[in-house]
Amino acid sequence: MHNSAYSACGMPHVYDSLQVDSLSSVQGLLEEGKRDGIVVSLPYKTEILQMLDEVAPDARCIGAVNTVVIEKDFISGQPMKRPILKGYNTDYIGIMNCIQLSLSPANSVKQGTSALIVGAGGMARAAIYACVQVGIQNVCIFNRTRENAHKLTEYYELIDTLDSPWPAQLRQPTVIVSCIAPDTPATFSIPEQWLCSKTSGVFIELAYTPLATPFTKQMQSKVSRGWILVDGFEVLVEQGVAQFEILTRRPAPVYVMRDAVQRSILNAILLLNGPNLNLLGTREPHLYGTTALKDIEQSSIELGTKLEARIETFQSNHEGHLIDRIHAARGVADAIMINPGAFTHTSVAIRDALLGVNIPFIEMHITNVHTREAFRQHSFLSDKAAACIIGLGVFGYEVAIEHAARDLVNK
């Protein structure tokens, strides 16, 4: 994400990762003079505070730093004797931005707005601070280990058990933030008696490996009631954008960073459509249906997101363009889904391109080609395809995506 942003901005910076096994190793990184900043992850976000010269007020309040700027050039026009270390917290900024961007007008923050924080670790502190910053004064905390939760309850309400009712003096929560660490996934569901907001709300999941957590799967069923789901991918991007701007002091290329994160987290599936498929919706609807290609592509992208896959779409009426797109997928796409149209029966070149990039592919046809003209019953691709999905109408695209996302990309 950061390296993609640096490249897009023409900056010479490099973001790399380093695993350290002690706090003294972190101090060595800060003092060696080779870096302009470091990003800190657990378990050192709290311990690093003692090493810093300055700590931003929000980071001090949260009690954790995840971004350190190393200033080592000049102060008052004179060379510095040693670097000045400044600490910041962007975790809460990522959460705060997601709350602000996702709350519907019906759930705009008011005096009685309530929030539920699930978890009691360091990220829970950032989540509480984010809620306070957007104006939410009523915050409840639930944690599997009651003792840990008590550390945060000096100013906030503690819900003791999953059987507990929502506090009677508070409105139902319209903001819920899950701060459960991905290495200890939740073995429980959010109780229904805590999900009774008449205007629903926003649910934010901080974990992103995997994107589909037990809580997001539970809350997916609430979308029809108006709940908005924000996964850890979005939070990661928002805090990364804040981090970039603190480290570089310039606006972040948000779309570049979002695309980079998406590419690194999600499996990439290329959806190709061949000649005349741009006419879907109006072309021989008795055979091909009335669904337009743009609608097929949009629903494919949405289904892919649910299955933790990034769907890229491309359509062309020209054989060479399709071949070029197949070549461009090498080293990028994990699977290809292709409806070759009439090229199915004529193109040795597309067959060779698919074999040349060595990416598993699924051949698709909206109609049952084996019940149509004889020339449509021969395919130059079928014997090399991982699967052939034929005659299911546009539903075949959904079947292909599910198979590609769940089976092909893991091989």
- Binding-site annotation: residue ranges: 339, 345, 352, 366-367, 376
Question: What tokens were used for 266?
Answer: 């999600």
Task: Give the count of beta carbons closer than 10 Å to the beta carbon of residue 352.
Answer: 13
Coil, helix or strand at residue 230: strand
How far apart, in whole angstroms, are the C-alpha atoms of residue 74 and residue 404? Answer: 55
**Chain-centroid distance, C-alpha 166:** 30
**Chain-centroid distance, C-alpha 306:** 11
How far apart, in whole angstroms, are the C-alpha atoms of residue 215 and residue 162? Answer: 14
Q: Is 76 exposed, middle or buried, given 0-12, 13-18 or 19+ CB atoms closer than 10 A? A: exposed
Which of 376, 302, 296, 393 lies closest to 340, judged by CA?
A: 376
Question: What tokens were used for 250?
Answer: 């310039």
CA distances from 302 to 65, 216, 307 (A): 35, 15, 9
In the β-sheet with 309-315, what is the strand arrangement from edge to edge?
A: 309-315, 267-273, 335-339, 361-365, 387-390
Residue 318 annotated in active site:
no
Q: What is Dmax (Cα atoms) for the chain?
A: 84
- Binding-site annotation: residue ranges for substrate: 339, 345, 352, 366-367, 376
Catalytic-labelled residue, pool 321, 365, 370, 378:
365
Residue-by-residue DSSP string for 333-380: -SEEEEE-GGGGGT-HHHHHHHHHHT--EEEEESS-GGGS-GGGG--S
CA distances from 249 to 69, 154, 242, 245, 252 (A): 11, 36, 10, 5, 9
Question: What tokens were used for 35?
Answer: 């870096």
Q: Is 145 exposed, middle or buried, given 0-12, 13-18 or 19+ CB atoms closer than 10 A? A: exposed
Place of tokens 């909206």: 366
* Cis amide bond preceding 83, omega within 30: no
CB 41 within 8 A of CB 35: no
Strand 37-39 versus strand 67-71 pairing type: antiparallel
Catalytic-labelled residue, pool 150, 288, 370, 403:
288
Residue 15 annotated in active site:
no
Amino acid at 205: E
The residues assigned a catalytic role are 288, 365
